[in-house]
Structure 1
């Protein structure tokens, strides 16, 4: 099961993919990428 980042949770600072909406991997987010590995 893939997860989502909750924008309303104070402790959740993850980003959601701009294409599919699932959680972007932390390593990709650190490189400035806004899509998950599945979307490329």
Structure 2
């Protein structure tokens, strides 16, 4: 699945080859807060 997406980027995770290995980045957002008492 990742190899097929190397040139197309349909998954939107910037799949690329680096030193003959497949690398990708998955965006993660963590939001924290505190509710006043």
Say which structure, 1 or 2, has more relative contact order (CA 8 Å, 6+ apart): 1
- Higher strand content, 1 or 2: 2
Q: TM-score, normalised by structure 2?
A: 0.24
Q: TM-score, normalised by structure 1?
A: 0.24
- Higher helix content, 1 or 2: 1
